[in-house]
Chains A and B, each alone.
Chain A
Amino acid sequence: MRRARRFNINGILVNAAALVLVLSYALPYVYLLMTSIKPAADVQQIPPSFLPAVVSLENFREVLQSSALPKAFASSLAVAVLTTVLSLAVAVPAAYVATQYRRRITTLFLLFALVTRMVPSVSLGVPLFQLLKSLGLLDTIPGLVLAHTSAAVPLALLLMSAFFEGVPKELEEAARMDGCTRFQAFRKIILPVMIGGIAVTALFTFITSWNEFLYALLLTSEATKTAPIVIAEYNSVYGLAWGAMTAAAVLYSLPVIVVTLALQKQIVGGLTFGAVKG
């Protein structure tokens, strides 16, 4: 009895701590959400209020009616999807070979991928600008996709390597004994087994590209401006248009939230892959 009670107190404490943590993470987003549904006039009131006095969707109406945002959303989506596909196409096979056929050079290869993650994006901005300019890809979707892919591939490579570490080598060997070539074994057996890990990597790669600001700022102008740039540039005659900006930001966050929720099962499966052997 006493033991059960102590357990309950522990449970309450753990839950309370988790709630505090979740609230601290969620607070800025909740504030964004609250601001977006305030009437434009209330957004800049002093002192600011957390909850809206009146719920209004006028900010959303304004941003959806503007011509810039839908076009920017389309650019963002195209860039993020293409970056994800290209990054996975490069990183998944590369990570598999690097982990399953371990040699000194493959270890160096993974280490190099890690090092590239340590270089600040801003240091790479100017060289990328020059490179894309000489290729005639400035302010184009392929140009930005290449720039984002250069940043996303090392991340995807490291994530996929961690997932592939948990795949027993015998799985590929069994497939080869069962009549597969190495590539067939990879395609028919390894890839389906790794679907959870690939989903997690795809999501992180998508989010990396979807949220990216600096390269989009440097490498695009009018034709292919992505949504983060458009949102940051919301101005009114009085300065920054906070109401429209927050409404656009909420709209922009929705796809990531929806995709994350849709892939929840695969993500949890992927993140715990290898922890429990079947």
Chain B
Amino acid sequence: MSAIELRNINKVYGNSFHALRDLSFDIRDGEFMVFVGPSGCGKSTALRMIAGLESITSGELRIGGRLVNDVDPKDRDIAMVFQSYALYPHKTVRENIAFPLQMAGLPKTEIANRVDEAARTLELTTLLDHRPALLSGGQRQRVAMGRAIVRKPAAFLMDEPLSNLDAKLRVQMRAEIASLQRKLNVTTIYVTHDQVEAMTMGDRVVVMKGGVLQQVDTPQNLYNRPDNVFVAAFIGSPSMNLYEAVLNGRTLTLGSNSFEIPDRVFEYRPSLNGASNRQVIIGIRPEHMNDAAIRPSSAEISAPVTLVEALGSESMVHLNIDASWVDAGDPDAVADIGDEKAAVARFSPKSTARAGDIARVAVDAEELHFFEPDTRTSIW
């Protein structure tokens, strides 16, 4: 049993900075759980508290049913892979992997067998006598993984383990880590700020912001049924487009554009029924906006095109929609886009839309998301 339970976990630093607020959720035995969020959201702090490297100000942390708030890291039966790998530079790959077993006092033959087994699993056999300085980034990453798996711990903790690798290697290692976790079936917590990693690797994902839990759910549910504006915008790339709009009966007014919302939407969002001049925040994913000239729809808006990024398989079309743009509250996204408040639509590569055109955009209105403007939570 290696389920991990967090109950009302808080972290307040000496300078009164409240890094985590009332964090409560469960990680099931054998589950691959990803913590994701922008910089400073508290995901690494939460991981370090589970590791025992950071003290818990209040709340309860249980691993395998045992309260571990005040248990030393070495006595928690968990292994951790660090962002910098933290390999011991004076030890060979073999000695690095063997170290946790030596500390556990295992017999030499058992250590040798387990190191060989881990090396075979991670294809490190030929590198066992090398020092870490001689290894490439990907190889070092594997050694760090080897040091973690060799112990057969109750849980793996991984703190952005792929962030130091180049893009191509990252994709490869992403798949390898996910398949290794499924093979070993060990409870794993994986911290990342990359929502693609979160979506592709995790059985479930914890989305955090400003030390507060936003949503815990499967990747598909985070995408389809985000609990609030932040999760809606954070999950998915490019981000969901968020605008203030007015709903009157079945008619949605978005700036100078209006279109009818299909009946099905009111079936799964019954509280929208009977709306009269109701202010809402609407979310439209880029993939739900197409070139009306290619794929016409009953819900169409027109907007000037400010930029077209042709990617070959699709074109990212930036549109200047004349409605109030809504900031989702992602500090990293604001830093990335600066003053750019354009909507992004994912058009077919056959689209002839060019910067400066007024594009007719077909909106897949069944896929619209609705949020309360004051609480920013989803309207169901």
Residues of chain A touching chain B, judged by Cβ–Cβ distance below 8 Å, are: 168, 170-171, 173-181, 184, 189, 192-193, 195, 278
Contacts and interface: CB of A to CB of B under 8 A. Distances in A.
Nearest to A185: B74
B92 interface: no
A100 to B, nearest CB: 13
26 contacts: A170-B84, A171-B86, A173-B73, A174-B87, A174-B88, A174-B147, A175-B88, A176-B73, A176-B74, A177-B51, A177-B53, A178-B74, A178-B99, A178-B100, A178-B103, A178-B151, A179-B74, A179-B100, A179-B104, A180-B103, A181-B74, A184-B103, A189-B88, A193-B89, A193-B90, A278-B89
Contacts of B147: 174, 178
A50 B169 CA distance: 66
A170 B88 CA distance: 10
Interface stretch (B75-83, B179-187, B289-297, B368-376): B75-83
Nearest to B82: A170
Interface residues of B, number: 25
Nearest to B51: A177
Contacts of A179: 74, 100, 103-104
B68 to A, nearest CB: 14
Nearest to A276: B133
Given A173-B73, A175-B99, A176-B74, 4 more contacts: A176-B72, A178-B147, A181-B72, A193-B89
Contacts of A192: 90
B95 to A, nearest CB: 11
A278 B73 contact: no
Nearest to B89: A278
B74 A173 contact: no
Residue among A177, A189, A195, A278 with max Cβ neighbours from chain B (10 Å) = A177
A177 B90 contact: no
Contact of A278 (B72, B83, B99, B133): B133
A180 B105 CA distance: 12
Contacts of B132: 278
B87 to A, nearest CB: 8
A170 B79 CA distance: 13
Given A193-B88, A278-B132, A278-B133, A174 B103 contact: no
Contact of A177 (B80, B87, B89): B80
B88 A177 contact: no
Contact of A174 (B52, B78, B80): B80
A175 B84 CA distance: 14
B84 A177 contact: no
A166 to B, nearest CB: 11
A171 B74 contact: no
Contacts of B100: 177-179
Contacts of A168: 84, 86
A101 to B, nearest CB: 12
Most chain B CB within a 10 A radius of its CB, from A176, A178, A181, A195: A178
A176 B76 CA distance: 11
Contacts of B84: 168, 170
